Every structure is written in C-alpha cells, then in structure tokens.
Amino acid sequence: MPIKTIFFDMGDVVISNSSSSSFRRNLSEFLGLEYQKVKPKIDKIIDPFVKGKITEKEFWTKLFQTFKMPPKTGYKKFLMKEFSDNWLLNEEIVKIANLLKASGYKIGVISNSIEPHVECIKRKGWYKPFSKLILSSEVGMKKPEVGIYKLALKKMKVKASESLFIDDREKNLITAEKLGMKTILFKNVKQLREDLLKLGIIF
C-alpha cells in the first residue's frame, strides 16, 4: 500500500547534538561521578522519567538519594540548560518535512523525551512542522515498546502498511517493522533523501 504518513524521531534526526558528550555523561559530570560506574543506576532512574511516571522534582530526589549526596547547586536549571546548550535544529530535515507535508503526506513525531526537553523544544517551535506528537513523557510509553507505535498509528488514523518511521537507532525500527510499518535508519540528510525516493516518496 502507498505510504500516507511519515513519522520522524526527534533526537539525532530532527535535532542534532552539537556536543561530543551524551546527556547521561554530562549528568554524571555535573554530579561529580564516574560515568561508567553510575550509568546503570542513572538509566534506571531516567526510565520512569522518560515515561512521565515521575516528575522532574522526583527525578532529582531519587538521583541524590541513590548516590547519597546533598542537592547540587544549580540542579533545578541543569536539564533545560544542558539541552539548550547542546542541541540544534537540523534545518535540512525541517525542509524535507515541510516538502513532504506540502506533497500531501501526514507528518508526525514518535520520540523518547523528558518533560523539560519537550518544554524547551516547544518554546523554540521545533515541533511546528509536525501535526501529531507522540512523546514518551506524555503518553507513558517509550520506544521500542509496541504500544507507542500503535498509539501513533491510531492518532494519525493510518494503517501500519501505509506508514513510514525514520529513526537513527535500529532497535527502535525493529518493533515498527514487526507491526508492518516501513522504516528508514537515519544516517544523514543525503541518505534520507535517497531512501525516501527509493520508497517512491516524491517531494
């Protein structure tokens, strides 16, 4: 069946990290802890935060309790500042998204994110090209859980076979493929344009 709807991931697709360091590594550095030693514990605390199961305040409380430390100076502004300092809008991807929309395709987002980052992206207007936002912190599910993809299809009122999902992580594409969605593993803008054309998507 022809593709009618195209979903984009946000991080490292629509927006790009200008830093050579990841969020978790930057967080470890802020806490003054060795990244490799604390990463598993940080991951465990971030997971419910990404799903919107805990608030930002609860996230920090759990973090400081886990590592048995008093609250760090400036922690309340860290998440927003770390995001604003390191992430940029990929203008070329936005051009593609707008061209696809102008060509009659429905355009949406399926993204794992935390509430402060979502707030920051909304303030910057980086979600504007997309008609539907399926964000983990707002829907209580995250990629690659099957539920978030099913919800995206339901919100867009489209069959899996009529949809395409673009993500930079292969593990996030596997579930989509199992549902019958077409997928593109994003590497760069040139490759994305070529892969879209290969699928018969004209824009």
Model confidence, pTM: 0.95
- Report the pLDDT value the prediction gives residue 139, as an integer from 0 to 100: 98
- Report the pLDDT value the prediction gives residue 58, as an integer from 0 to 100: 98
Query: Of the CATH numbers 1.10.600.10, 3.40.50.1000, 3.30.230.70, 3.90.25.10, which one belongs to the domain with range 5-17+88-198?
Result: 3.40.50.1000
pLDDT in tens, 130-147: 999 999 999 999 999 999
pLDDT in tens, 61-119: 999 999 999 999 999 999 999 999 999 999 999 999 999 999 999 999 999 999 999 99
Closest CA to 182 of 6, 34, 14: 6
- Report the pLDDT value the prediction gives residue 37, as an integer from 0 to 100: 86
Can you state the percent helix, strand and coil of the chain, rounding each to 5? 55, 15, 30
Burial grade of 194 (CB within 10 A; 0-12, 13-18, 19 or more)? exposed
pLDDT in tens, 37-71: 889 999 999 999 999 999 999 999 999 999 999 99
How far apart (Å, rounded) are the C-alpha atoms in residues 111 and 11? 8
Tokens encoding 148: 């978030």
Mean confidence (pLDDT) of the chain? 96
Confidence band for 201, pLDDT divided at 50, 70 and 90: very high
Residues 20-47, mean pLDDT to the nearest whole number: 92
Domain boundaries, the chain: 5-17+88-198, 23-86
- Report the pLDDT value the prediction gives residue 183, as an integer from 0 to 100: 98
Looking at residue 147, its amino acid is G
